[in-house]
Amino acid sequence: MIFSRFGTAKSRTLLGAGAALTVAAGVAATALVAAPFAGAAQPQDTATRYVALGDSFTAGPGIPTQSGGACARSDRNYPSLLAQATHPAEFVDVSCSGAVTANMEDPQGSAAPQFDALTADTTLVTVGIGGNDVGFGGIIGTCVTLAASDPTGHPCTDHYTAGGVDQLERTFAEKAPKIAAVLQGIHHRSPNAEVVLVGYQAILPATKAACDPANPNKAIVAENDFPYLAAKERSFAHILAATAAANNATFVDTRTASEGHEACTAPGTRWIEGIVDVVNAAPVHPNALGMENVAHLVQAEIAE
């Protein structure tokens, strides 16, 4: 986080938000060598049509090789890896960095509405959306800025809970109906599709002590803001899970699965890049290793 139905739902507690962040300074790119995706290969099913929707946590900005123009879509994002492993008869990825829920039905610059890719014969839809609606980018920028004035305190926590009201929890609750409307819209356009809502990976651990001492991203937020921000990540994942369950969607919560792989952990371990020392990804976004692991999680879920 700091950080993009009808019938019976499957939900699993496993957590893409926004376009590349402007809070990064002095970003350095080095080669990332990730193990090839080794999903269980399946024979092509001539009756399957897979459509991927979502924001930048789906699109994969900065991960080689890039395509999709301003959408900054990678051919190594989790939808592409999932398609390589499952061999659908048709695969369409319209995920776009910076997307909000409104871009399911409305254009995003030169990008067509993402719902335009849905058809009556679509059999699988994955979607990762909501992070930009709740303002992940702004939350990051605020917490990073406040940390400079009080690096050992909890200025971000104080800011978002001023007056006794947790502003982030209020925002999450306000935006949940928009995510529900996306799931309902998918069902309406593709009534025979399995719909999978993919959540957001963990960005920071609950304590600074869990960071790799050599990783400078351990200092991007104040030391005592770690618990609050990790709690907000969990809270948003719970809201996504509940929204999926109420709208006949499967939820893949990659947040829980990515604990121990946050932005301040060691190279080769982390699934998310930080603000400094960024490796072949957008700042505070999944890297190639993260995308491979999300693809595994989604494949395991749809195989059930």
Residue from 154, 187, 261, 285 carrying the catalytic annotation: 285
Query: Is 285 in the active site?
Result: yes
Contact 23, 144 (CB under 8 A): yes
Q: Where are the alpha helices (DSSP H) in the chain?
A: 56-59, 78-86, 136-147, 155-160, 167-189, 226-246, 254-257, 288-302
Question: What are the tokens at 140?
Answer: 């990051």
Report the C-alpha gap between 183 and 185 in whole angstroms.
5
243 vs 5, 102, 238, 294, CA distance in Å?
10, 17, 9, 20
Reading the block at residue 303, the tokens are 């195989």
Do the beta carbons of residue 179 and residue 243 sit within 8 Å? Answer: yes
How far apart CA 268 and CA 68 sit, in angstroms, is: 27
In order of 174, 280, 295, the CA distances from 36 in angstroms are 39, 16, 12
Name the active-site residue from 11, 56, 74, 258: 56
Closest CA relative to residue 32, chosen from 295, 237, 213, 277: 277
Contact 63, 295 (CB under 8 A): no
- At 125 the three-state DSSP class reads strand
Active site residues: 56, 285
